[in-house]
Amino acid sequence: MLRVQRERMSGGFFPTEREYTEGYGLTRDRLATLMSRNERAVIAHPGPMNRGLEISPEAADAASSVILDQVSAGVAVRMAILYHLLAGEGNVQ
């Protein structure tokens, strides 16, 4: 999943939030279809989530959701990259 940046949506990329959810969101029905096809499917999202818009609460809170782990790891990875870039240690390529 990707996050909809509401603060940048004044350009009319989609007419309504409902239309976006129906067209692209991970709804309860899409979650059920996904899990019926692949019980080991993992739900990932970089956060922060717009619950009910891009991802349903059922999907966000599903047992196969790794969203909290992904968000936590993302912070650590960004911190490490910034440290190496700012401290000038090694050749980051």
Residue pLDDT, tens place only, 1-37: 888 877 766 666 666 888 888 999 999 999 999 999 9
- pTM score > 0.75 for this model? no
Residue the block writes with tokens 């990259």: 81
Distance CA 26, CA 32 (A): 10
Among candidates 43, 48, 45, 46, which has minimal Cα distance to 7?
48
Residue 10 has a pLDDT of 67
DSSP assigned state of 81: H
